Amino acid sequence: MKILTLDIGGTVIKSGIIQNDILSEKKEEPSNAQLGGAHLLETVKQIITTYSGFNGIGISTAGQVDSNTGIIRYANKNIPAYTGTKVQEILQERFNVPVAVENDVNAAALGEVIYGAGKNTKNKDFLCLTYGTGIGGAIIIDRKIYKGAAFSAGEMGHIITHGKENSGYYEDYASTRALVENVQAVLPEINNGKNIFKNIENPDVKNIVDNWIKEVLYGLAGLIHIFNPSLIILGGGIMEENYIIDSLRKNVNDYIMPSFSDVVLEQAALGNDAGLWGIGYLAKHKTDNK
């Protein structure tokens, strides 16, 4: 079984072939998402035509997705006019193979559960969060994605951690974007997460990072108390920094009741390929059952 898998983001579209549990023929193209949903889908079609011999297609995409129909239920201003796009129908008619479509964070979470950080554990219930421009989330129950009543469960970046009118969202304080903005207010020349940790010995930078870690913990504490998960997988480039994961593990019990202290915090294992693996898994099962 040969599955073509694509991960559509606001900046790039990643693609590759999954066959016999091997990811190969990886490519990366600019998405130019700001040009809108129609242009984005044409780019996807062009990328697909560069591959051959595949039996099914998996599409991991930004936006809220009705995974039964493959329709984009909602997309924000980062991809104009993407809401309502019938991704599954359009691609199935064009390429005549089964197409699976899923939200990108859900796909990445499933990839981690099946192939990554959750692969070798007996735990069945997880939370997965990704920290970047915003904060994405996914809920895994019995090793399956919990999607909610309208396919929109897991909007963890929009839980409220600060009581402010028209603000107060978790991602306003605990996203990578928030961390970079806080550091730049003091040191404008530091413009990304990697540069922050190159300067972690600077007392001003370290103080900002430590305060940001507290913001991460505020949100995690609420989620732990609601879901009582055995495992939380933390993704996004910033979570590859051992300073952060070590600090989170060291301090999380200060924010939660003792009866919840068995929760394990793990770094995502698949990096930027998690979405490709997750949607590839879904597309394979859809193709097997066609």
Residues 32-66 have pLDDT tens digits of: 999 999 999 999 999 999 999 999 999 999 889 99
What is the SS3 string spanning 84-129?
A: CCEHHHHHHHHHCCCEEEEEHHHHHHHHHHHHCCCCCCCCCCEEEE
How confident is the model over 261-265, as a mean pLDDT? 94
pLDDT in tens, 207-229: 999 999 999 999 999 999 999 99
Coil, strand, or helix at residue 275? helix
Per CATH, which fold does 2-103+272-288 belong to? Nucleotidyltransferase; domain 5 (3.30.420)
Calpha distance 70→190 (Å, rounded)? 40
Would you state the pLDDT for residue 166? 66
pLDDT digits 0-9 by tens, 229-262: 989 999 988 999 999 999 999 999 999 999 999 9
* pLDDT in the model for residue 179: 96
The radius of gyration computed from the CA coordinates of the chain, to the nearest angstrom, equals 19
**Residue 271 in this model has a pLDDT that exceeds 90:** no
pLDDT for the residue numbered 152: 85
Those residues whose C-beta lies under 8 Å from the C-beta of residue 18, and which sit 6 or more positions away, are 2, 3, 5, 24, 276, 277, 280, 284
Q: Do domains 2-103+272-288 and 117-269 have the same CATH topology?
A: yes
Angle between helix 203-227 and helix 176-184 axes, rounded to 10 deg: 160
135: tokens are 């904060």
Mean pLDDT along residues 75-81 = 89
- Structure tokens of 98? 């089964």
The token duo for 21 is 């549990």
- Torsion sign, CA atoms 171, 175, 178, 179: positive
State what percent of residues in the chain have pLDDT above 70: 99
For residue 17, which of 9, 8, 5, 28 has the smallest C-alpha distance? 5
- What is the value of pTM for the model shown? 0.85
Q: What pLDDT shows up at residue 54?
A: 96
Q: Which of 29-33, 94-98, 149-153, 185-189 has the lowest mean pLDDT?
A: 149-153
The residue ranges of every structural domain in the chain are 2-103+272-288, 117-269
pLDDT for 42: 96
The domain made up of 117-269 has a fold known as Nucleotidyltransferase; domain 5 (3.30.420)
Query: How far apart are alpha carbons 32 and 79 in whole angstroms?
Result: 9
Judged against a pLDDT cut of 80, whether residue 148 lies above it is answered with: yes
- The mean pLDDT of 162-190, rounded to a whole number, is 91
77 pLDDT exceeds 90?
no
